[in-house]
Amino acid sequence: MASSNQKTRKKPYGALLVMGLLSAGLYIFLLLNQASLNKYFAMGGVYAFLPIATAFIFSYVHGSFTGNFWTILGIEASKKKKEVK
């Protein structure tokens, strides 16, 4: 009976596919446009935030893809139990 009360969560296959394609697309775009991106990244001033923003975007997209990948494989972070004193 205990297993019937537990919620079964769907595996995020769609999110994995979307984030994987988006991540691959970002890397392809970056590699194909290195010269123009380097020109803007090196301009200084307000343009100095472009590499930082790019790093955050890559980190978010790749992190979401990786998180969904591990979830589909069934690997989840352990939940720590609160210690009762």
Mean pLDDT of 32-48: 95
**What average pLDDT does the structure give for the chain?**
91
Which of residues 38 and 2 earns the better pLDDT score?
Answer: 38
3-state secondary structure of 59: helix
Which DSSP symbol is given to 26?
Answer: H
Question: pTM of the predicted model, to two decimals?
Answer: 0.79
- Kindly tell me the burial class for residue 68, based on how many C-beta atoms sit within 10 Å of its own C-beta (0-12, 13-18, 19 or more): buried
- How is residue 21 written in tokens? 């394609």
End-to-end, the C-alpha distance of the chain in Å comes to: 31
Which DSSP symbol is given to 33?
Answer: T
Contacts of 68 (CB under 8 A, 6+ apart): 12, 15, 16, 19
